[in-house]
Structures are given as C-alpha cells and as structure tokens.
Chain A
Amino acid sequence: MTLALSELDEVLEEPQREAYYVYGVVAEIPDTSGLTGVQGAGVQAVRAGDLAAVVSVIDLDRPPTSRSDLLAHSAVLDSLARSGPVIPVQFGSVLADLESVDNDLLQGRDELFRSLLTELEGRTQFVMRASYREDVVLREVVAGDQRIAGLRERTRDLPEAESYADRVRLGELVSRAVEEKRAADADGLLAEVLPLTVASALRAGSGMDHVVHIALLVDNDRLSALEETLEDLAAAAHERMTIRLLGPMAPYDFVGDGDGLAG
C-alpha cells in the first residue's frame, strides 16, 4: 500500500492525539481502582524504579478545562493523599507516552522526589482563610477615626459626582485603616496557629473582607490540636470574622520547585 505524503502525515500524527495526563508522584503503588480522572478516564499508576507516577489517558483534541476536569484533578490527588504521601504536579501537565514518565518525569529527579515524599510522610495540607464580617469592621473603622466619620457624614447624602474627591479620600483612609486592622488580626491568628504546623505558605488574598489566606502543613497527630485551636479562635472572633478550614488535601503548596519544606 502506498500513501500520499499528506496521508502519511495524518497517520503519523494520529497516535500523538492520545497522551498521559499526570496527577502526581508517589512511592507506594496506590489503589486507583475507584478513582475517576480527567475526561472521566480510569486512573493508573506507572512504576519507574522505586517511584510511581499516577496518570490517566487523555484525548488532546478535547482540552481538559471543564469544571469536571478541574474537580477530577483535585479529587484524584486528595484521594491519593489520604492513603500516603504524594507530590502533586501542576494542573494541566501532559506527557506524550509512558516512556516519558520514566525518561522525562522521574529520571534524574529520584532523589528530590524521594526526599520530598519522606518529608511529607504523616503530614497533611489544609488551607485556612479568615475573612472579616465587612460591616462590622467598617463600623469599627468609622468609630475609631474622626476624620473618617467626618468624611462619611459629608459624603453619604451627596451624589457621587459632587463629592468625588472626598469619596476617594474617604475610601483611601478606610482602606488604610482596614489594612492596619488586617495586619494585626492576621498576626494574632498566626501566632496561635503556626506553632501547630510544620510549614506554612501565605496565599494571595484580596477584597475588603480579606484577613489571611494561608496553606498549612500539619503533622497528622497535631491535627486535632489545630482544629481545637481554630475552633476557639473562630468562637472568640465570630462577631468580627469567619474562619474557614479546607482540607485534608494534597500538599499543593509544599512541593515548589525543589526547595522542599520550610521547616
């Protein structure tokens, strides 16, 4: 059989449309039988040396950016993390074939992966977010600064166009006052929480209600101490702020490019 050149291209390209989506690296081969991956595919572990990569087959003609793909990525990793240490790989990482798992992913980085996995053993990530009850903190700010109270009196019944400069000034003063409170409240919370953790990584936060957003790596045997401390903090502060704790989850924030854990 003879193929025209254009047909040959198609044939050669065909196998490349299927590739391997990578979730993470583990030491022990996990039970992946109950896991559903990106694009609804079954999840498998590919061994290379004494490590293994957790992957699933992906069809590259359908970019995995739907909500179910995002949820699958985190569900697979969080599930793996519940049964042993795992190094999460960034969302959207695809390898061409199974040889690449050995050649590109694991080869030459065994030592880094193994030491990371050892550090992660028996530890779990959580994400904590404290947020102000916005009205309460704004009231505190108005009550605590006469300039703010005065500007507010002056601007609140005027149309925006007639009080633009005062409004900008008011907002600037308020945002500074809120930021001062935020820094102090965040420090207060972290002083109680960080001693119970192995490592932490601040996350970006924004918005008027932002107090602190931070990833925590916790020894599993200090988990209940952390929960009790956070419950006490949340109870003490509940009129001013809410505290949310997400997890257990895979250690997404503690595998950054080879620098290992802070602690």
Chain B
Amino acid sequence: MTVQTSQRRSGGGYLDRPSSSGLADVIDIILDKGMVIDVYVRVSLVGIEILTIDARIVIASVDTYLRFAEATNRLDLYERGGKDLFDALGDSTERVSSGKVSGAIKGVKEAITGGGDDEEDEEERPRPAKKAPSPQRAGNG
C-alpha cells in the first residue's frame, strides 16, 4: 500500500499542507494518543500533561475574558488611520496577536522537551526568554 498525496500544491493553494511536522505539531499529535499497553516502564511526560490540562481549564476564567477584551480593544490600531475596517484586512492577515493561550502552550512544551521549533538537534537546551508567554498568568488560571 502506498499513499499518494500532493504534498504541496503548485499554484498557491489555500489549504496549508506542511510537508513535515515541527516539534509542536508532533507533541500535539502523539501526546496521550496511541494504544496503552502493559509495560515494564512508562516514560513520564508529566509536565506536558499537566500543562495541557491547564490550558483547558483556563478557557472560562476572568483572565481569558481580559485577554478577549484586550484583543478587541487592540483593533483600534487599524481604525485610526481613517481606514475603513475592512480595508485594513490586508494588514491584519499577519495576525498581530496569535492566540496567546496556544502560544503559551507551545512555548512551555518546547521548554520541557528542551528545544525550539528549529532544526537544531540539541538536547536540554535552555529556552531563550523571548518566547515566554507575555501574560504570566497563562499557566495558573
């Protein structure tokens, strides 16, 4: 059996088809998935599991509401040039604010597994601070 897929459409398709998965995608795909068997040892990924649960809890908290409010208020950036709201869409597709919650998860997942989403293959490398989630309350809501 061979699976044939068009990895990347030529001619600018809208569907995003990454040809390989980065570390964040791989963790996301395999975490808690697959058949559970009786084993001699199970390697612990406790830190990652706790973090995933945190992300689910945080959804309905006041912190989340404040983040929604903040993001909604940030929209002024586009209005103040006198532009029509929808004329500004072109600029906004760069996504000034990518979802902070998911960003925080990725940041910490990478920290746990000791590497960024780049091609280097070092282990146990400390994370640079720049990718830390900006609101520090992300993990403990």
Q: Which residues of A contact B (CB under 8 A)?
A: 19, 22, 24-25, 60, 63-68, 70-71, 73-74, 82-85, 87-96, 100, 104-105, 121-122, 124, 127, 131, 133-136, 138-139, 141-143, 148, 152, 155-156, 167-172, 174-175, 178, 204, 206-210, 220, 223-224, 227, 230-231, 233-235, 238-239, 242-249, 252-253, 255-257
Residue of A nearest to B7 (CB): A248
Indicate if the CB atoms of A171 and B18 lie closer than 8 Å: no
Indicate if the CB atoms of B43 and A124 lie closer than 8 Å: no
Indicate if the CB atoms of A244 and B16 lie closer than 8 Å: yes
Chain B contacts for A253, CB-based, 8 A: 33
Complex CA distance for A157 and B19, rounded to whole angstroms: 44
- Check if B1 is an interface residue, CB within 8 A of chain A: yes
Residue of B5, B33, B114 touching A67 (CB-CB under 8 A): B114
Residue of A92, A124, A142 touching B72 (CB-CB under 8 A): A142
Indicate if the CB atoms of B40 and A96 lie closer than 8 Å: yes
Indicate if the CB atoms of B99 and A234 lie closer than 8 Å: no
The 5 tightest CB contacts between A and B, nearest first, are: A171-B65, A207-B99, A92-B43, A171-B69, A234-B14
Whether A227 touches B99, Cβ cut-off 8 Å, given contacts A208-B67, A208-B68, is: no
Q: How far is the CB of B139 from chain A (nearest CB, A)?
A: 13
**B99-133: which residues lie under 8 A (CB-CB) from chain A?**
99-103, 105, 112-115, 121, 123-124
Residue of A84, A155, A238 touching B1 (CB-CB under 8 A): A84
Indicate if the CB atoms of B69 and A170 lie closer than 8 Å: yes
Indicate if the CB atoms of B15 and A155 lie closer than 8 Å: no
Q: Count residues on chain B whose CB falls below 8 Å from chain A CBs.
A: 76
The A-B contact count (CB < 8 A) is: 247
> Could you pull out 20 A-B pairs where Cβ atoms are within 8 angstroms?
A66-B123, A67-B113, A71-B26, A90-B33, A90-B34, A90-B35, A93-B36, A94-B43, A96-B41, A104-B38, A142-B75, A152-B75, A167-B69, A168-B69, A170-B73, A208-B99, A209-B99, A210-B102, A231-B15, A244-B15
Whether A230 touches B69, Cβ cut-off 8 Å, given contacts A67-B23, A100-B40, A206-B59, is: no
Residue from B41, B67, B102 whose CB has the most chain A CB atoms within 10 Å: B41
Chain A contacts for B89, CB-based, 8 A: 136, 239
Indicate if the CB atoms of B71 and A63 lie closer than 8 Å: no
Whether A156 touches B95, Cβ cut-off 8 Å, given contacts A66-B114, A91-B43, is: no
Chain A contacts for B105, CB-based, 8 A: 206
**B57-84: which residues lie under 8 A (CB-CB) from chain A?**
58-59, 62, 64-73, 75-76, 78
Indicate if the CB atoms of A171 and B66 lie closer than 8 Å: yes
Q: How far is the CB of B132 from chain A (nearest CB, A)?
A: 17
Whether A174 touches B3, Cβ cut-off 8 Å, given contacts A66-B123, A70-B27, A139-B85, is: no
Residue of B nearest to A21 (CB): B43
Indicate if the CB atoms of B55 and A220 lie closer than 8 Å: no
Chain B contacts for A207, CB-based, 8 A: 99-103
Q: How far is the CB of B125 from chain A (nearest CB, A)?
A: 9
Q: How far is the CB of A7 from chain B (nearest CB, A)?
A: 24
Residue of B13, B36, B97 touching A234 (CB-CB under 8 A): B13
